[in-house]
Amino acid sequence: MSPAATRRSRMQQWFPGTAHPLIVSAPMAGITNPRLASEVVRANGLGFIQGGRTFKPGSSSLAQLEEQLTLARSLLPRERNTDESDESQHPLPIGVGFVLFSDCAAPHFGNTTAPILARHRPAAVWFFAPDPDRPETLRTVIESLRSTAATVNWNPRVVVQVGTMDAAREAAELGADVIVAQGIEAGGHQFVRAAGIVSLVPEVKDMVRNEFPDKEIAVWAAGGIADGRGVAAALALGAEAAVMGTRYMVAPESDAEDYKRKALLAASDGATSTVKSYVHDHVQGNFTWPTRYDARALVHRSYHDAQAGMTIEENESRYRAAKEKGDVSMMVTWSGSSVGLVKSAPPAAEITRKVREEAVEVIGALKAVL
């Protein structure tokens, strides 16, 4: 076997059991769960669950996080946890994602959430969306996570999702191991003012290399990636892993409602079938996200009504009425601009393997003609 065939990538060193190129399933509220994440892991990818955004003592989100992590360990292949006498001492080869804009994140993460994570030892902890009006939040949660991890000899990789260079630079300064460069092609919540991954990923990569040469920081690409061609492109841009969200929403293991799966599979031309807007949240009565962040979803009737001048109060009222009646035409389905590439709904493990194999084939084909 050649040295190239046996060489392990940095991501394989950081996340044992994964394959190159690394495929990551994004933490998506209401979509991801331990079963989906564990199936991605079974296919040698890195799966994430969503840890929530509420950190106060006694919160139901904390109990749910404990349950999800316990379930995730029970679903993973036994060979990953060889010492059955105390499985909790082995790292859990999945990740957990948290949204940080809540005012309870900085005061409570360290004493409520970090101890739960330390008991289960996930491989990575992903942070996104601190409120710009609370600039101490990201620093505080990273420091509290590191401090708690040190007490149990656990070394999770800290992942920070960004959409701008300023946010990427802050993440690097605060000790992120991984910066997820999220482009505007992504589905769900993202920075209002941002760029596509074609320019964002290499600029973040250059910044990390030039401004933080003594730090070991990886860059992952997120947004608009749904097949092996996208993964190959992400690697060419300088990313060490490709993150997919929309592609996994249709997997049978996801928690997406059937109407969302059907809508995603039927959609094409993400340039016209999806749109970034505050309306997607506001029509659902969700006004909690800071204005720095909007979201991309499939175009729906509520969006058209908003564009026609309907007040948000009336639109929200109609949305609630439609939801009660089971009318899905006004419902919100998060989606990236790559939705036109999502044409089948195989299991998450199959998605992971197939996308990786496609990426390897694309890279091999390019090498053959160079």
pLDDT in tens, 200-230: 999 999 999 999 999 999 999 999 999 999 9
| Predicted pLDDT at 91 | 86
End-to-end, the C-alpha distance of the chain in Å comes to 24
Say what percent of the chain tops pLDDT 90. 92
Question: What kind of fold does domain 9-255 have according to CATH?
Answer: TIM Barrel (3.20.20)
| pLDDT, average across residues 162-167 | 98
Q: What is the dihedral of CA 165, 125, 185, 129, to 10 degrees?
A: -60
- pLDDT above 50 (res 79): no
Tell me the average pLDDT across 93-114.
Answer: 97
Overall average pLDDT of the 145-173 stretch:
97
Active site residue 300: no
> What percent of the chain shows pLDDT beyond 70?
95
CA 238 to the chain's CA centroid? 19
173: tokens are 């300064």
Residue 20 CA: distances (Å) to CA of 8, 14, 235: 8, 12, 11
Lowest mean pLDDT among 89-93, 117-121, 360-364: 89-93
Place 121 in a pLDDT band, splitting at 50, 70 and 90. Answer: very high
Residue 88's pLDDT band (cuts 50, 70, 90): low
pLDDT bracket for residue 80 (50, 70, 90): very low
pLDDT at 86: 53
Q: What is the pLDDT of residue 222?
A: 98
User: Is it the case that residue 3 has pLDDT exceeding 90?
Assistant: no
pLDDT at 370: 81
Assess whether pLDDT exceeds 90 at residue 87: no
Q: Which residues pair with 46 in a beta bridge?
A: 24
How far apart CA 26 and CA 222 sit, in angstroms, is 9
Question: Is pLDDT of 20 > 50?
Answer: yes
pLDDT of the residue at 216: 97
| pLDDT band per the 50, 70, 90 thresholds, residue 81 | very low
Residue of 189, 280, 282, 300 marked catalytic: 189
Q: Please give the pLDDT value at position 113.
A: 98
Q: Which two tokens stand for residue 124?
A: 């990575």
116, amino acid identity: I
Minimum mean pLDDT range among 75-84, 209-218, 286-295: 75-84
Mean pLDDT for the chain? 94
Above 90 in pLDDT, residue 299? yes
On whether the CB atoms of residues 17 and 30 are closer than 8 A, the answer is no
Task: Note the pLDDT of residue 90.
Answer: 78
Distance CA 272, CA 38 (A): 34
Per-residue pLDDT at 274 exceeds 80: yes
* CA–CA gap between residue 187 and residue 350 (Å, rounded): 21
The pLDDT score that the predictor gives to residue 369 is 86
Over its C-alpha atoms, the chain yields an Rg (Å, rounded) of 20
**Taking 50 as the threshold, does the pLDDT of residue 27 lie above it?**
yes
Which pLDDT band holds residue 182 (cuts at 50, 70, 90)? very high
Residue 179 in this model has a pLDDT that exceeds 70: yes
pLDDT at 4: 47
User: What does the pLDDT read at residue 150?
Assistant: 97
pLDDT at 82 over 50: no
| Angle formed at CA 215 by CA 211 and CA 219, multiple of 5 degrees | 80
Map out the domains of the chain as residue ranges. 9-255, 268-330
